Amino acid sequence: MNSSPLIHVSVHDEVATALGEGRAVVALETTIVVHGLPAPQNLEVAAQCEAVIREAGAVPATIGVIDGVIRVGVDPSTLADLADPSRHSDKLSARDLGFAIAAKSSGATTVAGTIAAAHYAGIAVMATGGLGGVHRGASATYDESADLTALSRIPVLVVASGVKSILDIGATLERLDSLGVPVAGYRTSKFPGFYLADSGFPLDWRVDSPAFAAAAFAAHRHWSSSGFLVANPVGEDHQLDATVHAHALAAALAYAHESGAVGKEVTPAILAEFARFTGGASVRVNRELVIANAALAGQIAVELTHLT
């Protein structure tokens, strides 16, 4: 699809055909697979996300960078290779993509990196687990995920279960407000708390159907080039026990501080400590919510094709 001698984006045939025919496509990120979830659940979750997107009538496009090419739609063996710990695959935000291409290196894309590539390829919907956001103590460290600023300028609808509970949720919601990113709860008026269904923070808007979410996003796109966040809570029967969550959160934050993790290492370090502390329960919750978000994203993407 490129006229330039530098072939830097390759769209999988099935994805290209679907886009050409105006059919629904949902982008999936790879950071959650490579740096977020432990093996072997990571590849199982990736496959299930693709399966539920197909069940909804859409085509999945898992995005990552392989040997300097942004691949929009990677097959399972390529994904397994990217996730192989011995490959030490990078974690790529939007600003990193140019370097990875120039260096012909490989890496997993975050939400920011994924929506940049998805939009470039013509995909308007993506699913993830939890969006990155404002870290606790950010007023001193300035640690705020580039997911937020990417969402403010890239018109992709993201389905996520809020932001990870390790973050400063109130500050993250304020930043999304300042950045002009619409936030809607899916069948709830409360912002989800990732491992918990309810973070306690109220939302101005709720959407009760995929069709309504698609209609609101389609209208928004007429006057704004920002993305759109649909916050889908994990089912109450799947959420983490509130007491376990509170203890795990305290342990994970202390661990992150002591480990000296900085920059892009912080989120993976905290997620890993959460998993260790909860004996894997947090991984089960993460798995449930990501798959549910992929299914909802598929339904919204299908509705969007009826409007555009």
Q: List residues bridging with 184 in a β-sheet.
A: 205, 230
User: Per CB under 6 A, does 299 bind ligand PSU?
Assistant: no
Which residue matches tokens 């990571």?
A: 42
Tell which one of 50, 90, 143, 288 touches Mn ion (CB under 5 A).
Answer: 143
Token digits of residue 20: 């050409």
Considering beta carbons, is residue 18 or 248 the nearer one to ligand PSU? Answer: 248
DSSP single-letter state for residue 72: E
Considering beta carbons, is residue 105 or 305 the nearer one to ligand PSU? Answer: 105
* Stretch (H or E) spanning 46: helix 41-55
Do the Cβ atoms of 228 and 181 come closer than 8 Å? yes
- Identify residues 50-79 at the interface with ligand PSU (CB under 6 A): none
Task: Find the part of the chain contacting ligand PSU (CB under 6 A) among 9-17, 31-39, 57-65, 82-90.
Answer: 31-39
User: Per CB under 6 A, does 145 bind ligand PSU?
Assistant: yes
Active site includes 164?
yes
Coil vs helix vs strand at 134: strand
What residues contact residue 47 under an 8 Å CB cut-off, 6+ apart?
A: 76
User: Per CB under 6 A, does 42 bind ligand PSU?
Assistant: no
How far apart are alpha carbons 221 and 205 in whole angstroms?
17
Do the Cβ atoms of 65 and 97 come closer than 8 Å? yes
User: Per CB under 6 A, does 32 bind ligand PSU?
Assistant: yes
Considering beta carbons, is residue 31 or 188 the nearer one to ligand PSU? Answer: 31
Considering beta carbons, is residue 98 or 137 the nearer one to Mn ion? Answer: 137
Active site includes 14?
no
Q: 91, 164, 264, 303: which one is catalytic?
A: 164
How far apart are alpha carbons 114 and 95 in whole angstroms?
11
The contact set with ligand PSU (CB under 6 A) reads 29, 31-32, 35-36, 110-111, 128-130, 132, 145-147, 264, 267, 271, 286, 290
The contact set with Mn ion (CB under 5 A) reads 143
Question: Which residues are known catalytic residues?
Answer: 29, 164
